[in-house]
Amino acid sequence: MAARDVDYSLYLVTDSTPAILGDRDIAWAVEEAIKGGVGCVQLRDKTSDTAQLVAIGRRLRNVTLRYGVPLLINDRVDVALAVGCEGVHIGQDDMELSTARHLLGPRAIIGVTVSTVAQALRACEGGADYLGIGTVYATPTKTNTKDIIGTAGVRNILQEVAHAGHTVRTVCIGGINESNVARVLFQSAAPSKSLDGVALVSAIMAAPDPEAAAHKLLHLVKRPPHFG
C-alpha cells in the first residue's frame, strides 16, 4: 500500500500490558479493531524482547495483510524489516529519520512523533509520511511524556506545517476517547489544515469489545457533532 493511500482516520496503537489488554490475545484485539474500522495499526511494545517482538509482529502481519491495513512498528526498524511490514513509527529519541528511510527505502511508511513546531518542520523536511502530534492530554498509558500540548498545541503545529507548504498527513495522540474525540478534532483544526485522524491505545485496546469501540470512534471521527 502506498503511503498516500493509508486511512489514518482511526489509528490503533497496541499495548500488550495486562492493565490494558488483560489476558486477551493481541492478534484477536487487533483483528476486532480492524473489523470495527481501524485503518492503520502500530505495534508498540516496550517490554518484549526482540525475538518476541518479531513473533508478535508476524502474527499481527498475518491479520493486517488479510484486511489490507498497514502495520507499522514502534521504535524498531530492525523488527519492521524482519516482519516485512509497511514501516515504522519513530520518536525524537529513536533512530534518525534519514537513517530509517535509508534502511527501509522510499516506499516504506515512516511516522514521527512531534510535540513542537520545530520538530514537525524538521520531520516534514526529512520526508516523514505522517506526524503523530502530541501528547494531547495526559494519559496513564504513557506516563513519561513531558510534552502535554493540548488541542491548542496541535492546532499551532498544523498551522505552521501548512504555512510552510507541507502536505504531510497528521494524527494526534494522547488521552483520546469516545467522549472527547469529536472535540479534539474540532479544536485542533487550523484554518488551512485539519488532522487526518486520531491515534488511540486504551480506548480500543482496553475496551471489552474492541470492534464496537472502534466502530463508534470511527463514526465520531467521520461525522463529528457540530460545535460552536
- Site residues, Mg ion (CB under 5 A): 75, 91, 94
CB of 74 to Mg ion, least distance (A): 6
207 binds ligand TZP (CB under 6 A): no
Could you tell me if 197 and 171 are in contact, meaning their C-beta atoms sit under 8 angstroms apart?
Answer: yes
3-state secondary structure of 136: coil
Residue among 62 and 142 whose Cβ is closer to ligand TZP: 142
Among 201, 207, 214, 220, binds ligand TZP (CB under 6 A): 201
CB of 183 to ligand TZP, least distance (A): 15
d(C-alpha 156, C-alpha 129), whole Å: 19
141 binds ligand TZP (CB under 6 A): yes
Among 173, 184, 214, 218, binds ligand TZP (CB under 6 A): 173
Helix spans in 10-163 (H): 18-21, 26-36, 50-67, 77-83, 97-104, 117-125, 150-163
Among 71, 184, 200, 207, binds ligand TZP (CB under 6 A): 200
Q: Reply yes or no: is the peptide bond before residue 135 cis, omega within 30 of 0.
A: yes
170 binds ligand TZP (CB under 6 A): no
What nine digits make up the cell of 19? Answer: 492493565
- Sequence-distant (6+) residues with CB within 8 A of 99 are 77
134 binds ligand TZP (CB under 6 A): yes
Contact residues for ligand TZP, defined by CB under 6 A:
13, 134-135, 139, 141-142, 145, 173-176, 200-203
